Amino acid sequence: SPVEAKRFVDEINHPLVGWYFDIGNVLRYGWPEHWIRTLNRRIMKLHIKEFSRELMNTKGLREGFKVDLLKGDNNWPVVMQAVREIGHTGGWLTAEVPGGDRNHLKQISLQMDEIISYL
């Protein structure tokens, strides 16, 4: 849970220890915005990834990750509002997406721009 994750980092109590927070992975356990607000300053870097609970439930866990950015269950405006609320200034965004040609990378760039626009 986000409360246990927060306690884990707090018990270590070292400025170099924090969360590399994966927005897509946490959808299996709850809502990213709740985790973000709870972990707050403990988030050192954000990892953008999409996830579909429907695909996970109908086709298996790994299939849940086989969805394009903005096409899964993340509510990006709400997630990015939470990021804005905590004043995140740590290492910024990385995306975990399959590779591809120039057009594919351009599409990922546009998707990332849309996600960032919600800040």
Residues 6+ apart with CB under 8 A from 55: 63, 64, 66, 67
Q: Mind listing the pLDDT tens digit for each residue in 57-95? A: 999 999 999 999 999 999 999 999 999 999 998 766 788
Q: What per-residue confidence (pLDDT) applies to 91?
A: 66
Give the CA radius of gyration of the chain: 15
The C-alpha atoms of residue 17 and residue 90 are separated, in whole angstroms, by 12
Domain count, the chain: 1
Reported pTM: 0.91
Q: Report the range of poorest mean pLDDT among 21-30, 36-45, 88-97.
A: 88-97
Query: Which element (helix H / strand E) includes 85?
Result: helix 76-86
Query: How many CB atoms are located within 10 Å of the residue 38 CB?
Result: 18
Residues in a beta bridge with 94: 47
Kindly tell me if the per-residue pLDDT of 37 is higher than 90.
yes
The CATH number given to whatever domain includes residue 71 is 3.20.20.150
Q: Mind listing the pLDDT tens digit for each residue in 41-62? A: 999 999 999 999 999 999 999 9
Range of the domain at 58: 2-117
The C-alpha atoms of residue 47 and residue 21 are separated, in whole angstroms, by 6
Terminal Cα-to-Cα distance of the chain (whole angstroms): 25
State the Cα angle at 48 between 101 and 69, rounded to 5°.
55
CA 45 vs. chain centroid, Å, equals 10
